[in-house]
Chains A and B, each alone.
Chain A
């Protein structure tokens, strides 16, 4: 065991993992975190705690992670390279580990231009690839990036993101290979809608032997409406939403579109369960945490295994 986290135990035991996502509040109300956590408890193996997502200031992801631990859920602590340099990152990692955080997701972060402080200075002292390497060095060598020894090194299960759809498509699998070389233990993908392209990407990863070296969790975000699907298609960079999916949502009554979205997500999850190279699903039910129990139930992900 690298970290002994619940997520690591589930994956190494060969169970099909199921992770969720929780966005911290734009304020200090810990109850908001607790409320969201209550929907997710028992439904997922770990929950991603986003880090100033879309470059909007929110409660620190480590702090929300601690609240989630208090609620009996395991966090997957997200950290972006946009907001802190290597000193701040490493000290946050030490603090996070000291308080019980065992999983981390290493990300570049959305550009600050999208957020509520568009003129902020983007730090990007190191990039997501280098962050993975840094956490691995801290864990496996017990050393800081600068080379000095760490007293009681943090034993973190290291995650990263992958976008199988962004161009150039041929490069995506090599980028995955680089993240594995950097030391990543598990990958959570961007929201998948184009199943054909995803299958091609996973096949490439299988053929290169990559899925034997990393646990791949397929990203799923159920569509709430036709409007959301169109927005994702046209406005979210790196997102690939096929027209057929939009047509399918348009084919049902407006009141039933959210239900149809969940149905599509469940069909996807069913396929991922069978797909060679996929070790689990990462469910990003954005501001839809209360729907997670229903989705988990309908996707036959319950009960969650205990290892």
Chain B
């Protein structure tokens, strides 16, 4: 899932400075699961903003709605009849959702309430870790299911480097060396031949905005 964290309150408050009526739009998918931008978090943030602005004797009227997914126009439709009432929209979705919201309502200021952080996993409730950089050329088949692009601090394709430190990365004793782990896992699977060959330089594909059109579909007129 996409993991985000809420921006510092002062920063959000600053973004809303000058607006008196703002609609806070949550997202019911990834950011709801990682406890940052779902219905509950929208309510909490609105309450905080409401209180802070009252104390400043500069009240703000915060509206609240959480859509199924902000990255899907179908679910944004519901907002069409609401946005006119507001001066600005605050989004608690990931960066993709925020941009889609801004794309649908180009005349409205759309402001982010979260910092989108990574594509990761849920270790346990409230604890998330990065696992994928969406590089567009997956090598997990060669590396024992451990991503060197994400999990190696240098993103090395032919590791480990000389800084590997008794199973840890040189940057931090608590950060495992990805290449040490790759070696151990492939060894246990008797597949070390996977990393005996040199992996050639990556043909980076994440340098421009990417588009995916699945087989059987084609680019259609945007709604």
Chain A, 160-181, CB within 8 A of any chain B CB: 161-163, 166-168, 171, 174-175, 177-178, 181
Instruction: Kindly state whether residue A86 has any CB partner on chain B within 8 Å.
Output: yes
CA separation between A109 and B164, bound complex, in Å?
A: 12
Instruction: Kindly state whether residue A111 has any CB partner on chain B within 8 Å.
Output: yes
Q: Among A126, A163, A175, which residue has the most Cβ atoms of chain B within 10 A?
A: A175
CA separation between A111 and B156, bound complex, in Å?
A: 12
Instruction: Kindly state whether residue A82 has any CB partner on chain B within 8 Å.
Output: yes
> Of A38-46, A129-137, A250-258, A288-296, which stretch is located at the interface?
A129-137
A-B contact pairs, 24 of them (CB 8 A): A82-B154, A110-B163, A110-B170, A111-B171, A122-B154, A124-B156, A126-B202, A127-B158, A128-B161, A129-B199, A130-B200, A130-B201, A133-B198, A145-B201, A161-B162, A167-B164, A167-B180, A168-B180, A168-B183, A168-B184, A171-B183, A174-B192, A237-B170, A238-B163
Decide: B198 and A166 in contact? CB cutoff 8 A. no
Decide: B180 and A163 in contact? CB cutoff 8 A. no
Decide: B157 and A127 in contact? CB cutoff 8 A. yes
CA separation between A238 and B155, bound complex, in Å?
A: 18
Chain B hits for A82, CB < 8 A: 154
CA separation between A182 and B201, bound complex, in Å?
A: 12
Decide: A166 and B156 in contact? CB cutoff 8 A. no
Q: Indicate whether A166 sits within 8 Å of B154 (C-beta atoms), given known contacts A113-B171, A182-B198.
A: no
Instruction: Kindly state whether residue B196 has any CB partner on chain A within 8 Å.
Output: yes
CA separation between A133 and B200, bound complex, in Å?
A: 9
Within the complex, which residue of A126, A128, A166 is in contact with B164, where a contact is CB–CB below 8 Å?
A166
Instruction: Kindly state whether residue B63 has any CB partner on chain A within 8 Å.
Output: no
Decide: B162 and A129 in contact? CB cutoff 8 A. no
Chain B hits for A122, CB < 8 A: 153-155
CA separation between A237 and B164, bound complex, in Å?
A: 7
Instruction: Kindly state whether residue A108 has any CB partner on chain B within 8 Å.
Output: yes
Chain B hits for A86, CB < 8 A: 201
Decide: B153 and A166 in contact? CB cutoff 8 A. no
B31 to chain A minimum Cβ distance, whole angstroms, is: 26
Chain A hits for B167, CB < 8 A: 167
Instruction: Kindly state whether residue B99 has any CB partner on chain A within 8 Å.
Output: no
Chain B hits for A81, CB < 8 A: 154
CA separation between A114 and B153, bound complex, in Å?
A: 12
Decide: B154 and A108 in contact? CB cutoff 8 A. yes
Decide: A126 and B201 in contact? CB cutoff 8 A. yes
Chain B, 127-174, CB within 8 A of any chain A CB: 153-167, 170-171
Chain A hits for B157, CB < 8 A: 127, 129-130
Chain B hits for A145, CB < 8 A: 201
Q: Indicate whether A111 sits within 8 Å of B163 (C-beta atoms), given known contacts A124-B154, A167-B180, A168-B184.
A: yes
Instruction: Kindly state whether residue A61 has any CB partner on chain B within 8 Å.
Output: no
A99-141 vs B: 1/0 string, CB under 8 Å?
0000000001111011000000010111111100110000000
Chain B hits for A182, CB < 8 A: 198
Instruction: Kindly state whether residue A190 has any CB partner on chain B within 8 Å.
Output: yes
Q: Indicate whether A108 sits within 8 Å of B156 (C-beta atoms), given known contacts A166-B162, A238-B162.
A: yes
B178 to chain A minimum Cβ distance, whole angstroms, is: 13
CA separation between A33 and B165, bound complex, in Å?
A: 33
Decide: A167 and B166 in contact? CB cutoff 8 A. yes
Residues of A near any B CB (own CB < 8 A): 81-82, 86, 108-111, 113-114, 122, 124-130, 133-134, 145, 161-163, 166-168, 171, 174-175, 177-178, 181-182, 190, 237-238
Q: Which 4 A-B pairs have the closest CB atoms?
A: A163-B162, A129-B158, A237-B170, A237-B165
Chain A hits for B200, CB < 8 A: 130, 133
Decide: A129 and B198 in contact? CB cutoff 8 A. yes
A210 to chain B minimum Cβ distance, whole angstroms, is: 13
B164 to chain A minimum Cβ distance, whole angstroms, is: 5
Chain A hits for B217, CB < 8 A: none
Given A126-B202, A171-B160, A238-B163, 20 new contacts (CB under 8 A): A108-B154, A108-B156, A108-B161, A111-B154, A111-B170, A124-B155, A125-B204, A127-B156, A129-B157, A129-B158, A129-B198, A133-B198, A133-B200, A162-B162, A166-B165, A167-B166, A168-B184, A177-B196, A238-B162, A238-B165
Chain A hits for B202, CB < 8 A: 125-126
CA separation between A134 and B201, bound complex, in Å?
A: 9
CA separation between A86 and B163, bound complex, in Å?
A: 22
- A181 to B, closest residue via Cβ: B198
CA separation between A110 and B162, bound complex, in Å?
A: 9
Decide: B163 and A130 in contact? CB cutoff 8 A. no
Chain B, 18-41, CB within 8 A of any chain A CB: none
Chain B hits for A128, CB < 8 A: 156, 158, 161
CA separation between A128 and B198, bound complex, in Å?
A: 11
Chain B hits for A238, CB < 8 A: 162-165, 170
